[in-house]
A and B are shown apart, each in its own frame.
Chain A
Amino acid sequence: MWNQIEGAPREELERLQLKRLQDTVQRVYHLVPFYKNKFDELGIRPDDVRSLDDLQRLPFTTKQDLRDHYPFGLFTVPLDQVVRIHSSSGTTGKPTVVGYTRHDMKVWTEVMARTMSMVGVGPQDVVHNAYGYGLFTGGLGFHYGAEKVGAAVVPSSGGFTKRQLLLMKDFGATILCSTPSFALHMAEVAKDEGYDLERDFKIRAGFFGAEPASEGLRQALRDEWGLIYIEAYGLSEIIGPGVAAGCPYGHLHVFEDHFIPEVIDTDTGQVLPDGSEGELVFTTVTKQALPIIRYRTKDITVLRREPCKCGRTLTIMESVKGRADDMLIVNGVNVFPSQVEHVLTKVEGVTPNYVIVLDKKGVLDKLEVWVEVDDRTFADGIGALEQLKTKLQQEMLNDLYINVRIKLVEPKTLERSMGKAKRIIDKREAEGLQK
Chain B
Amino acid sequence: MIKKYGIKQLSIFLENRKGRLLEVTKAIRDASINIRALALAESAEFGILRLVVNNPEKAKSVLSSAGFTLREQDVFAVEVPDEPGSFYNVVKVLSEADINIDYTYAFVGGGSKAVLIFKVPSQMLEAALDALEKAGVRLVEPMFFYD
Contact = CB atoms under 8 A, between A and B. Distances in A.
Interface of A: 373, 375, 378-382, 385-386, 407-413
Given A380-B11, A380-B50, A410-B14, A375 B43 contact: no
Contacts of A386: 43
Q: Which of A380, A382, A413: most chain B Cβ within 10 A?
A: A380
- Interface residue SS majority, chain B: strand
Contact of B48 (A380, A409, A411, A413): A380
Contacts of B102: 381
Contacts of A412: 67
Interface of B: 11, 13-15, 41-43, 45-46, 48, 50, 67-71, 73, 102-103, 119
Contacts, number: 41
A378 B43 contact: no
A382 B102 CA distance: 11
A378 B69 contact: yes
A265 B15 CA distance: 44
B11 A413 contact: no
A378 B13 contact: yes
Contact of A410 (B42, B43, B68, B103): B68
Given A375-B69, A380-B71, A382-B48, A413 B42 contact: no
A408 B45 contact: yes
B20 to A, nearest CB: 8
Q: Which of A385, A386, A410: most chain B Cβ within 10 A?
A: A410
A381 B9 CA distance: 13
A112 B67 CA distance: 40
Contacts of A411: 69
Contacts of B50: 380
A385 B13 CA distance: 10
Contacts of B73: 380
A193 to B, nearest CB: 11
A413 B15 contact: yes
A382 B15 contact: no
Contacts of B43: 382, 385-386
The 4 A-B residue pairs with the shortest CB-CB distance in the complex, in nearest-first order: A380-B11, A382-B43, A411-B69, A378-B69
9 contacts: A378-B71, A380-B11, A380-B50, A380-B119, A382-B48, A409-B15, A410-B15, A410-B67, A410-B69
Contacts of B15: 408-410, 413
A203 B71 CA distance: 31
B45 A378 contact: no
Given A378-B69, A378-B70, A379-B71, 10 more contacts: A378-B11, A380-B48, A380-B50, A380-B73, A381-B48, A381-B102, A382-B48, A385-B13, A409-B15, A410-B13
A385 B42 CA distance: 11
A381 B42 CA distance: 10
A399 to B, nearest CB: 23
A407 to B, nearest CB: 6
